[in-house]
Structure 1
Amino acid sequence: MKAIIIAGGLGTRLRPLTYNTPKPIVPVANRPFVVHQIEHLRRHGVEEIILNLHYLSDTIRDILDDGKEWGVKIYYSIEETPLGTAGAVKNAEEYFDDEPMLVFNGDILTDINISQVIEYHKKKGARVTLTLTRVDDPTAYGLILTDAQGKVTRFIEKPSWEQLSTFAGVNTINAGIYVIDPKIFKHVPKGVEYSFERQLFPELLEKGEPIYGFVSDRYWIDIGNPTQYRQAHEAILRNEVAVKIFGTRTDGKIWIGENAQLDKAVKLLGPAIIGQEVKINAETRIKDYTVLGDKVVVGRESSLERAIVWEGTKIGNHVSLTGCIVGFNCLIEDQVQVGEGIVLADNSVLKKGSILRI
């Protein structure tokens, strides 16, 4: 089976992190995010992947090349202008064959059992199978109703709490993973913006086409904003989602990369990921859910807790980072405090004694 990853968005919700780095290669556990998606697809037998790109596409292609490193063949479909979710897939029509294909939203970190979704699709004789997941607050998403056989009966885009009270107990949303019969793309106009969620799927339902929902309780998150990006790392470090992490695992909860230099007086209170060639000086404390990218340097007597620090950043002495994200190649001088929810763009410089809080 072929898969297409829809990854052409601008990543606006993750700015300033995505000004220079397109979302598909934003580091997650110190590896390009899309690589986790590729490896997940490969584990379920997908060997050919079409990557839909738009923003900074050459940067992504330079890293992924032909996909051989991950045991897949990657084809590239480039949008000159944004075409929406269905329009983006239609744009890659030259790579389709007659077999069902998998569509994967480029914002999603998950270990949903794709093999089970494919089997379900075949068993039901569906035109489209939507993977559904349960969330506590469906108002930010699209609620999907199904009957007892799993057949989709209704789409409700971003329901109000009043609407939810009408459907007590229903909290299944579109997880952004579909198995699709390519024949449905005859309903999608070429070269114009067109949405799966708001246009194609409701139109197919109205035409009586069989659309089914496969409900999964496996881990799922949209990493599209800084809060959820940090939550994804916490889930990885709690072993809630299966992804590959580079480094030697110690104490069951800390990964240390090759050639990392940690002073013997460093306190690792983990879970944490320490990248390759990281240097951490004496009496520094690395606390829960901290991720340090490759070649990060941390000075003496600093404290990092729930901090995600990208490659090449230099951190001084007596620095406190809590619940923040620090972009590539930043300089944080001595006695700086960075608080909860702060996001620093690449190459930021914080002078000695600076305090950043929301």
Structure 2
Amino acid sequence: MKALVLAGGSGTRLRPITHTSAKQLVPVANKPVLFYGLEAIAAAGIREAGLVVGDTQAEIEAAVGDGSAFGLEVTYLRQQAPLGLAHGVLIARDYLGDEDFVMYLGDNFVVGGIGDVVARFTRERPAAQIMLTKVGDPGQFGVAELDAQGRVIGLEEKPARPKSDLALVGVYLFSPAVHAAVAELKPSWRGELEITDALQWLLEAGLRVESSVITGYWKDTGNVTDMLEVNRMVLERLDTGTFGQVDDASALIGRVLVEPGAVVERSRLVGPAIIGAGAVIRDSYIGPYTSIGADCAITGSEIEYSIVLPRASIAGVGRIESSLIGHDVEVTPAPHTPKAHRLVLGDHSKVQISS
């Protein structure tokens, strides 16, 4: 079995961050979201992965390399435009050949891995197998309709009137039968080749599409709110340790990881939180569920429930909460500060905030 990892999306819901960074490389707990997916694929016993990439190919290729760091042999497949999930399957036809494969969306996060679902698919060998989860807003997702016995009887992409609250998780398993379905597809009203239409084609052809409803944690990290929630989830499981320098005037409370080369002086860190390698924290408060990236500088400031990407600088800011701050950002004081700030800043931004 091979894996097909889709990492060609433009990440419009995470702008301005994704104007300059691939959305799949935005980190949670200081590790790119894409890396969690690659690790899950390798843990399921899969050794070959095709990575579908677009305009951010160079950035993703620099981060992932040949895949050996994940125990994978990675082949890069260029997609000229993000024209739908099924289009990703279409352009990977030659790479996939006649093998079964798992398709994994590179900006999705699944707790518990995919080993069990891969084992079930290998054992039962339906034409396709999907993972479902109950959501509060099914109209934002691909939605599955099940009969009384729990069998899949219909699928729709972002329906105006959802027939269930069961959304498709971004992990799909296919036999080679899906290639015939994809070859017959026409673009949807969104101008894309929809994977839900391919699944529906398989159903109408009398082929078996199995499903399982996951009870674990799943998130599509396509927006800031979900990215912060995944960061919270990962930090809850954080391995702690102090590998940098922490002076006697500082306090580390709860689950805190200070990575090598980091410096903490006269500061209070309340976990779960992670301080990246080479970061400097002085005269500051770092609150729960916060990830400070490598080589950041936080001085005389307070921040919690946030993600700060590498090399950002925050100085003299009273309070920052629920924020996603990009690479090389500078946040400094300006007159008339509110009590709290909520920021979504693209890479290389410069912002003045009152203090």
Query: Which TM bucket (shorter chain)?
Result: 0.7 to 0.9
- The amino acid of 1:114's aligned partner reads I
Give the conservation status (yes or no) of the 8 Å contact 2:239–2:257: no
- Distance between the aligned counterparts of 2:48 and 2:354, measured in 1? 51
- Distance between the aligned counterparts of 2:106 and 2:240, measured in 1? 20
What's the CA shift for 1:207? 1.8
- Distance between the aligned counterparts of 1:25 and 1:137, measured in 2? 26
- The amino acid of 1:259's aligned partner reads G
Give the conservation status (yes or no) of the 8 Å contact 2:278–2:294: yes
What's the CA shift for 1:226? 1.0
Residue 195 of structure 1 corresponds to which residue in structure 2?
193
- The amino acid of 2:257's aligned partner reads W
Name the Cα RMSD after superposition. Answer: 2.6
What's the CA shift for 1:352? 5.6
- Distance between the aligned counterparts of 1:46 and 1:183, measured in 2? 20
- Distance between the aligned counterparts of 2:145 and 2:184, measured in 1? 29
What's the CA shift for 1:97? 3.7
Provide the identity percentage.
28
- Distance between the aligned counterparts of 2:317 and 2:118, measured in 1? 53
Higher alpha-carbon deviation: 115-124 or 188-197: 188-197
User: Structure 1's 76 and 152: CA in aligned 2 closer, same or farther, altered over 3 A?
Assistant: same
Give the conservation status (yes or no) of the 8 Å contact 1:274–1:291: yes
Structure 1 residue matching 2:311: 3-state secondary structure: coil
Residue 179 of structure 1 corresponds to which residue in structure 2?
173
Structure 1 residue matching 2:19: 3-state secondary structure: coil
- Corresponding residue pairs, total: 342
- Distance between the aligned counterparts of 1:201 and 1:254, measured in 2? 44
What's the CA shift for 1:338? 8.5
Structure 1 residue matching 2:354: 3-state secondary structure: coil
Structure 2 residue matching 1:224: 3-state secondary structure: coil
User: Structure 1's 247 and 176: CA in aligned 2 closer, same or farther, altered over 3 A?
Assistant: farther
User: Structure 1's 93 and 13: CA in aligned 2 closer, same or farther, altered over 3 A?
Assistant: same
Give the alignment's TM-score, normalised by structure 2: 0.88
Give the conservation status (yes or no) of the 8 Å contact 2:317–2:332: no
Residue 167 of structure 1 corresponds to which residue in structure 2?
none
Report Cα offsets for 1:76-132 as digits up to 9, x if no partner.
100123332111112111222433110111220112442221232244431010111
Give the conservation status (yes or no) of the 8 Å contact 1:291–1:309: yes
- Distance between the aligned counterparts of 2:57 and 2:339, measured in 1? 32
Residue 331 of structure 2 corresponds to which residue in structure 1?
332
Please, which runs of 5 or more residues in structure 2 have no aligned partner? Answer: 245-251
Give the conservation status (yes or no) of the 8 Å contact 2:127–2:208: yes
What's the CA shift for 1:295? 0.6
- Distance between the aligned counterparts of 2:327 and 2:121, measured in 1? 42
Give the conservation status (yes or no) of the 8 Å contact 1:150–1:212: no
User: Structure 1's 179 and 83: CA in aligned 2 closer, same or farther, altered over 3 A?
Assistant: same
- Distance between the aligned counterparts of 1:27 and 1:319, measured in 2? 25
- Distance between the aligned counterparts of 1:72 and 1:281, measured in 2? 40
- Distance between the aligned counterparts of 2:271 and 2:152, measured in 1? 43
Structure 2 residue matching 1:351: 3-state secondary structure: strand
- The amino acid of 2:167's aligned partner reads I
- The amino acid of 1:256's aligned partner reads V
Structure 2 matches for 1:28-43, cutoff 5 A? 28-43=28-43
Please, which runs of 5 or more residues in structure 1 have no aligned partner? Answer: 165-169
| 2:98 matches 1:98 | yes
Residue 262 of structure 2 corresponds to which residue in structure 1?
260
Residue 221 of structure 1 corresponds to which residue in structure 2?
219
User: Structure 1's 252 and 41: CA in aligned 2 closer, same or farther, altered over 3 A?
Assistant: farther
- Distance between the aligned counterparts of 1:123 and 1:70, measured in 2? 25
Report Cα offsets for 1:226-283 as digits up to 9, x if no partner.
11111111111223xxx889975976621111111101x311112111100111112x
- Distance between the aligned counterparts of 2:217 and 2:62, measured in 1? 30
Structure 1 residue matching 2:327: 3-state secondary structure: coil
Higher alpha-carbon deviation: 221-230 or 28-37: 28-37
- Distance between the aligned counterparts of 1:11 and 1:24, measured in 2? 8
Structure 2 matches for 1:13-52, cutoff 5 A? 13-52=13-52
